[in-house]
Copies of this chain bind each other. A is one copy, B any other.
Amino acid sequence: MAPTENATTATTATPGAPTGLQKAVRWHPPSYDIRVEEIPIPQIEHPDDAIVKITLAALCGSDLHIYRGHGGVSEVHTCGHEFIGEVVALGSSFGKDVKGRPALYSSLKVGDRIVSPFTVNCGECSVCRLGYTGRCPEGFLFGSPALNGGQAQYIRVPKAGGTLFNLSDPSTWSSSMSAEERKNALANLSDSSLLMLADILPTGVFAALQAINHPKVQPVLTGKPWPLCFTGAGDGVSILEEDRVFTAAIIGLGPVGVCAAISLLDTVSTGKIPFRIIAIDPNAARREKMKVVYDTIDASGKAGGEFSVLSIDEAKAKAKEWTNGVGCTAVLEVVGNVSALNLSYELVSAFGVIVSVGVHGEPPLPFTGRQVYNKNVSLDFGRCPARAMFPPAFDLLVKRQDIFGSIGEPASLIDSVVDFGKAAESYSAFDKGEVGKVIFDPWK
């Protein structure tokens, strides 16, 4: 990752910043049409912008919504919302220590190594401050008609001081590790590993954390009945050891589903929580990947409990067996379609929690009011606030380099790194479930 030829000179939107044409992976309407085209290198348009030279960009399952023509968009744009790279130009807002603005406006420099969350967020509105960066009112999704994506050689990042993570300055985020430990860890982390922080790892952690933190799940974990008012004092009703097995299902074992499983397993293992987790996918290759990942985690001595990787019908039977017909305390839905939601409902217990991080489209939710009332279902939908989730995702990334640190191994989440010449065929193969996660090197 040597600095680019322009990196040392382009401290603001100066003529020293890169200009001319670049290669980019572009989507064309109506569907299944991916082309590599030459388009202008983006320039600073707003004082809060950064221009980033992209080192690696990944193909994500949610790119397929637009690819298939289901995204509700019809305009040509540069694809991709997962990228890592290096700052080559900064707008005039940078280099100034303005009270109340995110710290990166004063500290980010040309030449810094960055990873970006998959959405822009300002970092200075109430929504961002509360941690809900994925829904910043000034936010955009990279790789959409509103904002060109990262499957290119350069990208413009709006609100860059609120959006980017500066991997060259670990003092700009908190962690369970010290800044020194983070610095040492970063020196050993490959770009392909750090790229997991753009979306799939925080989204997996987001799914797991929402389940674990939900008040309806807490009684199983803490032994204190919901809502901490049916206490056993006098009434003779107390939670028993047998009630304290955390039962969960993970539906969809694409890269995000596997990340959700890794995060959930890390949490229950660290917390010494007995568990029975069912990981579900109709695709045998994905199940095989999940099994190898679990064996890797298990082999490292951190896991306890029971974990079963199953097809849909097998999972229904196993959930009944493991929960005495009551259903799972939590279901993580990592697919984003109606059949996955129906399976979630079937598997969840009364007063259980369905966490859905799948990107859903136009179809209505497949539940009647009576169904959700009768089962006292809790549902948490939506996009990961990746900017806010970065600290725990980073810690997990460092901890599980046995999985995230490699490419093309049985336990790797990344299948291969390819050049843009393979973009169209990679989209097609990924769409058909023939390959796992693919990364593009725009400079190959």
Interfacial residues, chain A to chain B (CB-CB below 8 A): 72, 101-104, 123-124, 126-135, 137, 162, 171-174, 206, 209-210, 213-216, 219-220, 225-227, 229-231, 233-240, 242-243, 324, 326, 336-338, 341, 349-351, 356, 358-370, 372-383, 385, 387-392
* B235:A131 contact, CB within 8 angstroms: no
Q: How far is the CA of A135 from the CA of B376 in the complex (A)?
A: 8
Which B residues are in CB contact (< 8 Å) with A215? 210, 213-215
* A135:B375 contact, CB within 8 angstroms: yes
* A226:B388 contact, CB within 8 angstroms: yes
Q: How far is the CA of A158 from the CA of B131 in the complex (A)?
A: 47
Nearest 7 interchain pairs by C-beta: A360-B369, A376-B382, A131-B225, A103-B236, A135-B350, A230-B388, A174-B233
Q: How far is the CA of A173 from the CA of B236 in the complex (A)?
A: 9
* B382:A360 contact, CB within 8 angstroms: no
Nearest-CB distance from A206 to chain B (Å)?
A: 8
* B129:A237 contact, CB within 8 angstroms: yes
Q: How far is the CA of A104 from the CA of B237 in the complex (A)?
A: 10
Smallest CB gap from A377: residue in B? B381
Nearest-CB distance from A99 to chain B (Å)?
A: 9
Between-chain CB contacts (< 8 Å), 7 pairs:
A126-B326, A127-B351, A131-B219, A131-B227, A227-B389, A336-B373, A351-B382
Count chain B CB atoms within 10 A of each CB in A229, A238, A324 and give the residue with the most.
A229
Smallest CB gap from A349: residue in B? B127
Q: How far is the CA of A341 from the CA of B370 in the complex (A)?
A: 13
Given the known A-B contacts A363-B368, A388-B230, are A237 and B123 also in contact in the complex, defined by CB atoms under 8 Å? yes
Nearest-CB distance from A27 to chain B (Å)?
A: 19
Nearest-CB distance from A321 to chain B (Å)?
A: 15
* A172:B234 contact, CB within 8 angstroms: yes
Q: How far is the CA of A161 from the CA of B425 in the complex (A)?
A: 66
Count chain B CB atoms within 10 A of each CB in A128, A215, A235, A387 and give the residue with the most.
A235
Nearest-CB distance from A65 to chain B (Å)?
A: 10
Smallest CB gap from A202: residue in B? B229
* A162:B237 contact, CB within 8 angstroms: yes
Smallest CB gap from A243: residue in B? B126
* B365:A230 contact, CB within 8 angstroms: no
Given the known A-B contacts A210-B215, A364-B369, A372-B382, are A391 and B130 also in contact in the complex, defined by CB atoms under 8 Å? no
Q: How far is the CA of A173 from the CA of B235 in the complex (A)?
A: 6
* B234:A173 contact, CB within 8 angstroms: yes
Give 10 A-B pairs besides A130-B220, A130-B351 with Cβ atoms closer than 8 angstroms. A127-B350, A135-B376, A213-B215, A213-B227, A226-B385, A227-B392, A229-B388, A230-B389, A356-B373, A377-B382
Count chain B CB atoms within 10 A of each CB in A210, A227, A231 and give the residue with the most.
A227
Q: How far is the CA of A247 from the CA of B341 in the complex (A)?
A: 30
* A234:B131 contact, CB within 8 angstroms: no
* B130:A219 contact, CB within 8 angstroms: yes
* A365:B362 contact, CB within 8 angstroms: no
Which B residues are in CB contact (< 8 Å) with A375? 135, 381-382
Q: How far is the CA of A227 from the CA of B134 in the complex (A)?
A: 13
Query: Which one, B127, B174, B235, B358, contacts A123 given CB within 8 A?
Result: B235
* B235:A376 contact, CB within 8 angstroms: no
* A236:B101 contact, CB within 8 angstroms: yes
Nearest-CB distance from A403 to chain B (Å)?
A: 21
Given the known A-B contacts A237-B123, A377-B381, A378-B378, are A132 and B364 also in contact in the complex, defined by CB atoms under 8 Å? no
Given the known A-B contacts A214-B215, A361-B369, are A383 and B376 also in contact in the complex, defined by CB atoms under 8 Å? yes
